[in-house]
Amino acid sequence: MLAVDQVSRIFQGGKAGFKNVNLSLEKGEVVGVLGTSGCGKSTLLRVLSGLDENFEGEIKTEANDPKQAFGMMFQEPRLMPWLNVWENIVFGTGKKDKKQEAFELMKTVGLEGFENHYPKDLSGGMAQRAAIARSLLIRPEILLLDEPFSALDAFTKMQLQDLLLDIFEKHRTTTLLVTHDIDEALYLCDRVIIMRGQPGRIESQITVEAKRPRKRGDSYLAELKQDVLKELDFTKE
Amino acid sequence: MASQTEAAVRPTTNKEKSTTNPLKSNVVVGSLLPVTLIIIWELASRGGFVEPHLLPAPTTVVEEVITMAQEGELWGHIWITLYRVFTGFLLGTGAAILLGAATGYIKIVERILDPMLQALRAIPSLAWVPLFILWLGIGETSKITLVAVGVFFPVYLNLTSGIQGVDRKLIEVGRMYHFTALQQIKRIILPASLPSFLVGLRSGLSLGWMFVVAAELLGASEGLGYLMVFGQNTSAPELVIASILLFAIFGKITDEILKRIQTRTLKWQDNMENAS
């Protein structure tokens, strides 16, 4: 589905970015990228999404139309403040050809009845729901999520994580999720990639065997969390 | 999926507000002081405390306006002044949109054009008058040009800074959808710079009114500014005050129109005015 071959993007004189990243995603797979701050995980998403074009290496997708390969959801909702919820959701699509689909998506993310609200009237969680719907409407081959819930409170975060699970179930979207929340990565992903260093490289990989939906307090996940923490250990170099 | 807590933030409608009718009470409170002052002024004039040939009573001023309106000569003056302001406003705004958009959007144009325009902006407006009269004659063209120059700069400056201030994060959303340059402008840059542009229009309009007074004071045979000069030369202060009054009324009306447009098109803005 997605093959990333020896991709590097280095700036600030070799001290930031990431180096020699190899990565491949199967169709429908949900892969998490965990890492300390400054290890280039957000840069990786910017490179994949095409927002940052100064990279070395090769990125291959199976998409027929490379323009539709990636959908991106940012840390902030980034809704257009002058458009209401409905107009924001259909923002990236042409004309009205996706009306029915947009309506379904709006129902899925729980924004029914809020079509005519402007972003200023939405809570952080609702704005992020609208952003989820917007990024899904173009039916990307691969959905890139850049710390999507890091600005939300714990309860809203959990609700939206469950919403993502529903969406994975329903649409089988191949997803690459960058996060610094270990619990979030273990709760949502099939596989977790751990990045370290400046510039960052892939340190290791952990496969989460448990089936979704998982229990948040699961002892298996707790063990995995220990492993991840060990991998992320700041004291070792 | 929408949770109870989130649904609770649904904003209340504005209808509850209208029962107390803040507008009405604002009007009453706001008129208290001017009404009192006008009454004092009227009493002072009638009582002979002020010289009527320097400061005529408000009723005299109003009478003067009504007489001129009835005789019909007032309408010509009002019309020509409005015509000068609007034509100048349209021309100045048009030029500002073209140059401001180019400067805001294309880096090289900014580097070539902006320093010169900033230098021209430093010239006091009235300094243009002799030159415009010399070049364009004392007819309508020189007056309209002067108004257009006044309108141009605030609109230009606000539009440029509005475009340059568009949030990079929103532009990136457009890039994720592979928008063309034209789509970026139409769907993100224009709406995002609209608030700043409208602020520019309003200050442009108020400068337009200022410049039309200047133009008419300095060489006109009709218009509200001319009426003022005429009133001065014939020692008719009621004429001067009437003209000032009319300028105030028309300035306020035109600004109010722009303000309404502003409020209506910017109801999405998250600011104090729109707080529910």
d(CA B65, CA B78): 12
Contact A144, A4 (CB under 8 A): no
Residues B5 and A233: their CA atoms lie apart, in Å, by: 38
Give the ranges where chain A is alpha helix by DSSP (H).
41-49, 85-89, 99-108, 124-137, 154-171, 182-188, 219-232
- Summarize pLDDT for A39-63 with one digit per residue, the tens: 888 889 999 888 888 888 888 888 7
| Residues A197, A177 share a domain | yes
Interface contact A50-B175, CB threshold 8 A: yes
Give the count of domains, chain A: 2
Find the DSSP H helices in A34-97. Answer: 41-49, 85-89
Q: How far does B151 lie from chain A, in Å, by closest CA?
A: 27
Q: Looking at residue B9, what is its pLDDT?
A: 44
Please check whether residue B1 lies inside any domain of the structure.
no
Residue of A75, A17, A61, A20 lying closest to A41 (CA atoms): A17
A51–B172: do the CB atoms touch at under 8 Å?
yes
Instruction: Indicate if A218 and A188 belong to the same structural domain.
Output: yes
Do residues B93 and B151 lie in contact, with contact meaning Cβ atoms separated by under 8 Å?
yes
Q: How far apart are the first and last CA of chain B?
A: 26
A120 with B5: Cβ contact below 8 A: no
B274 touches chain A (CB under 8 A): yes
Query: Which chain B residue is nearest to residue A119, measuring alpha carbons?
Result: B268
Structure tokens at A198: 């400046």
Examine the domain organization and report whether A159 and A60 are in the same domain: yes
The values of phi and psi at residue A31, to 5°, are -120, 135
- Residue B111's CATH number: 1.10.3720.10
Residue B245 lies in a domain: yes
Residues of B in contact with A156 (CB under 8 A): 6
Q: List all residues 6 or more positions away from B241 whose beta carbon is below 8 Å from its beta carbon.
A: B56, B61
Q: Which of A74, A81, A117 sits opposite B270 (nearest CB)?
A: A81
Q: How far apart are CA B180 and CA B73, in angstroms?
A: 56
Question: Which residues on neighbouring strands pair with residue A35, listed in sequence order?
Answer: A195
**Interatomic CA distance for residues B217 and B228, integer angstroms:** 8
Output the average pLDDT for chain B: 87
- Taking alpha carbons only, the member of A53, A69, A40 closest to residue A135 is A69
Q: What is the pLDDT of residues A163-190, one digit of tens each?
A: 999 888 888 889 999 998 899 999 999 9
In sequence order, which residues have a C-beta less than 8 Å from that of residue B108 and are 6 or more positions away? none
Q: Are residues A115 and A205 in the same domain?
A: no
- Full domain range(s) for residue A131: 81-139
Tell me which residue in A70, A109, A120 faces B1 most closely, judged by beta carbons: A109
The H-or-E segment that residue A4 falls in is strand A2-11
Does residue B49 have a pLDDT over 70?
yes
The tens digit of pLDDT for each residue in B138-160 reads 889 999 999 999 999 999 999 99
The helix/strand/coil state of B213 is helix
Is A19 a member of any domain? no
Helix (H, G, I), strand (E, B) or coil at A65: coil
Considering the domain architecture, whether residues A180 and A235 belong to the same structural domain is answered as: yes
Give the closest of B3, B169, B188 to A76, CB-based. Answer: B169
pLDDT of residue B18: 45
> Which phi and psi (to 5°) does residue B126 adopt?
-70, -20
Q: Residue B104 sits in which domain range? A: 56-265
For the cut 60, the answer to whether the pLDDT of residue B10 exceeds it is no
Instruction: State whether A87 and A192 are in the same domain.
Output: no
What is the Cα gyration radius of chain B?
A: 24
Flag whether A20 is in a domain.
Answer: no
Q: Are A41 and A23 in contact (CB under 8 A)?
A: no
Rounded CA gap, A209 and A190, in Å?
7
Nearest to A35 by CA among A50, A27, A45, A26: A45
Mean pLDDT of B156-176: 92
Report d(CA B167, CA B181) in Å as an integer: 16
Q: Which amino acid is at A35?
A: G
Which is higher by pLDDT, B148 or A12?
Answer: B148
What values do phi and psi take at A22, rounded to 5?
-115, 135
Q: In total, how many domains does chain B have?
A: 1
- Chain A residues whose beta carbon lies within 8 Å of the beta carbon of residue B193: none
DSSP-assigned beta bridge partners for residue A31: A176, A191
Kindly state whether residues A105 and A128 are assigned to the same domain: yes
Q: Which value does ipTM take for this structure?
A: 0.87
Residue A43 within any structural domain of the chain:
yes
Of A118, A139, A160, which one is at a domain's C-terminal end? A139
- Token pair recorded at residue A100: 């029915």
Query: Sign of the CA dihedral A48, A50, A56, A59?
Result: positive
The answer for B 142-171 residues in CB contact with A (under 8 A) is: 169-170
Same domain assignment for residues A206 and A160: yes
A101 and A122, same structural domain? Answer: yes
Q: Is residue B206 part of a domain?
A: yes
pLDDT at site A234:
59
Q: pTM of the predicted model, to two decimals?
A: 0.81
Sheet holding A16-25, edge to edge: A16-25, A2-11, A56-61
pLDDT at B26: 81
Contact call for residues B84 and B230 (beta carbons, < 8 A): no
Residue A133: exposed, middle, or buried by beta-carbon count in 10 A (0-12, 13-18, 19+)? buried
Are A75 and A148 in contact by the 8 Å Cβ rule? The answer is yes
Task: Please indicate, yes or no, whether residues A37 and A92 belong to a single structural domain of this protein.
Answer: no
Q: Residue B246's closest CA among B216, B221, B203?
A: B216
Q: What integer is the mean pLDDT of B158-164?
A: 93
Q: Looking at beta carbons, which residues of chain A come within 8 Å of B262?
A: none
Among A139, A161, A189, the domain boundary falls at: A139
Are residue A130 and residue A149 in the same domain, yes or no? no
Together in a domain, A175 and A65 = yes
Which chain B residue has its CA at the smallest distance from A121's CA? B11
pLDDT at B30 over 60: yes
Specify the CATH number for the domain of residue A64.
3.40.50.300
